Structure 1
């Protein structure tokens, strides 16, 4: 499979199996990485009921203390997860694939400030506002058609919608506004 097709943006209807898949993966990761993990959260579109999504389970694993990625890479060595260099500061990304298709993203990040992270605020706000779930699904389908072979452009094209929702969520919780992308 070429990298072009391997990482093509494909949006599918919501599946209740996604929450079951998260639970299964959470159990596996807790067995592998305990006692490093303090909290594990299902994030991203697959964590939002009725949200159309790329069928990739995104997981936040909050740790304390936050260590260099090699510590986690060694623990995850036989789990199917591999480290992905992203250049992000304060987060390690690991990806899991099955038959050449990415199935999971594991984001390892510090426990401090976890519940003020934009990703969780966005998830929780959409869970509470089903009308926005529908709007976001329509936007994602349209952008997948326009940017299907360029995942980075697809993600960037969603920025104004995500920023607006995050701003509402941060305002509702009395948190200062901040950009969703640095």
Structure 2
């Protein structure tokens, strides 16, 4: 224990210092995104996340959107449990044959207008799984997809940009 305390006293703080300029730019981007969402929708955007057969890498990044750094709820975006309350469907993973019907029912239960975002390489292209006896492949084979967010897994920033791109597309 004494060895560890001596090392802490000798080395000091190891974390990076924050840059005030970059934090100000990020705050401005977030306030712009919030204002744009309110201008387009006039309310919060409700998102239903469906794991159609992924490895859960994308879900970890989606969950990171809820942490204080990204503050998804502060931007006017929220995750909902029921597709009947959702404006957007965020799908991850290749669609397995067992999830095909559940995914279609979730989509059909959503009110109009419906937005679908395919998140991750598997949802966009089928990934390493492709189409087989156990997989329908990409989400586009089962549902009409508005926006795809590539990456394995996509970063929280890329996910947020994809969600905003889908909302902008709906506004047009």
TM-score range, shorter chain: under 0.3
Indicate the structure (1 or 2) with the bigger Cα radius of gyration.
2
Q: TM-score under structure 1 normalisation? A: 0.27
